[in-house]
Structure 1
């Protein structure tokens, strides 16, 4: 540790390297350009090598600087994570949830009033998003994602075991819900996500139906319009069972052919590990786990 250069010079190096500019680094750090140059000279003196190529038009990393850059970038990221891990819970009265569009619309928004009644001190905000690069950029507290639970640098907790089923409105199946010829001649409301496609191929194989026989009326990766169209009687669809459980219970949808496909992907709560120690996240986890276990 004694051989490390001053932390300030490393911070200045990182800003200058990321911006390819001493001037921009000075503006970002609220110091003068001369102060930036001084810190870079101090670092180069400590290391015994130059880190930047300088000319009248541009400042950029040389080979030594390029070699050092990812190490310093990673080190500051780790410092930031460590500081966040021991900080008090931020915005204790606000819960910001990032969830898939379908999960937000189908599972959360219709039921969130139940959570808020029990947690009246919390203001809940939704950020429908299918990506995970939102925790720092949007101050997200917790995310719900569908996958295998392997999210690099993040902790995940499985919410529910899931399967993919074949559904339709009882309006178009009626008494023919076991008639394979009638069912597979109906329009397919097709989710093009990889796990749904695996289920479609499995179902065709199980019932000895050629995949080319299925005619798609709608194609999308968003489960919401698929389910809405199925409810309107516009065709059959392969969907995540957890998204339609309530519609199955009240008879708005039926499980056609009693078909199930064991899906390796499921819904997970995902966040930086220290978020799970926050009281507001614990309360939401308890509520959403109970909701999905019904």
Structure 2
């Protein structure tokens, strides 16, 4: 096998390509965040290594020699090909399925309305959403990631805290028009959600004597829908109520809120935490929750 010819410095080739594209050492230096002198030095190094003059100066500025034009085309094509190759290699491990389990309310109110941005960013990941109010065994279920709402105690798993919410009453604008003071909640149905207790908020608002009386739902998104439909007042949480509040389907009749005793957690198997698909979803969900908050 023939011995490969020794190539010039890749850094020098990158500097030359920028200078050739701009026909200016100054603009190349600005693009590469180096000094003009550094660009000139790298071009001189490349000329010494190749043994040919690459640039010539004219009254109109910097011009490429014939050899410089040929090298600029070759280097430009080679760098573009290298960039495409690196992109393909970096995305190979992203291609494939990613199974995520979460609560029905989080899927319905947070994930599904915003999945478009994930699909646009990672079209090669086949996202599969599994909803359950029960804790799913990640080792036996084939599920890659769980978004869980709880205290964060998941032994034997990789656990990262995502978000702790605020809890506050929400209702339709029509119902809110009848509420002037927290004590007025005694006169409307208080929709119950099994994940949220009314007692802490009522005590904070100075109405500990009010007993919630209204329909009870197992899933948060059903309680929110009942409130949207004017069936009463329920307790909203920062993340799951965000879209309905932003759209005006729900309003906060009172400004007071209390911190939720539990939060959201990103959970996966420890040996899978660094997998590219899981890491991509982790970064996306973190960005998503920061925007909502």
TM > 0.5 fold call? yes
Aligned length: 200
Instruction: Report if aligned partners of 1:142, 1:275 keep a CA contact under 8 Å in 2.
Output: no
* 1:151-177 deviation digits (Å, cap 9, x = unpaired): 111111111231111111112112x44
Deviation for aligned residue 1:220: 2.3
Q: Secondary structure at the match of 1:110?
A: helix
* 1:51-72 deviation digits (Å, cap 9, x = unpaired): xxxxxxxxxxxxxxxxxxxxxx
TM-score of the two chains, using structure 1 as the length reference? 0.63
The yes-or-no answer on 1:161 pairing with 2:164 is yes
Is the alpha carbon distance of 1:90 and 1:98 closer, same or farther for their aligned partners in structure 2, counting shifts above 3 Å?
A: farther
Deviation for aligned residue 1:100: 0.8
Aligned to 2:174: 171
The yes-or-no answer on 1:275 pairing with 2:268 is no
Q: 2:288 aligns with which of 250, 275, 291?
A: 291
1:181-260 equivalences under 5 Å are 181-193=183-195, 196-197=196-197, 200-216=198-214, 218-260=215-257
Aligned to 2:146: 143
Find the aligned partners of 1:110 and 1:185 in 2 and give their Cα distance.
Answer: 34
Instruction: Report if aligned partners of 1:201, 1:211 keep a CA contact under 8 Å in 2.
Output: no
Is the alpha carbon distance of 1:180 and 1:224 closer, same or farther for their aligned partners in structure 2, counting shifts above 3 Å?
A: same
Q: Secondary structure at the match of 1:229?
A: helix
Q: Secondary structure at the match of 1:230?
A: helix
The yes-or-no answer on 1:124 pairing with 2:127 is yes
1:79-158 equivalences under 5 Å are 92-158=95-161
Q: Secondary structure at the match of 1:150?
A: coil
Find the aligned partners of 2:201 and 2:135 in 1 and give their Cα distance.
Answer: 31
Find the aligned partners of 1:228 and 1:161 in 2 and give their Cα distance.
Answer: 22
Q: CA-atom RMSD, angstroms?
A: 2.1
Aligned to 1:180: 182
* 1:129-186 deviation digits (Å, cap 9, x = unpaired): 2233332332111000011211111111111231111111112112x44333433311
Aligned to 1:63: none
Query: Unpaired segments of 5 or more residues in structure 2?
Result: 1-91
Deviation for aligned residue 1:212: 4.9
Aligned to 1:48: none
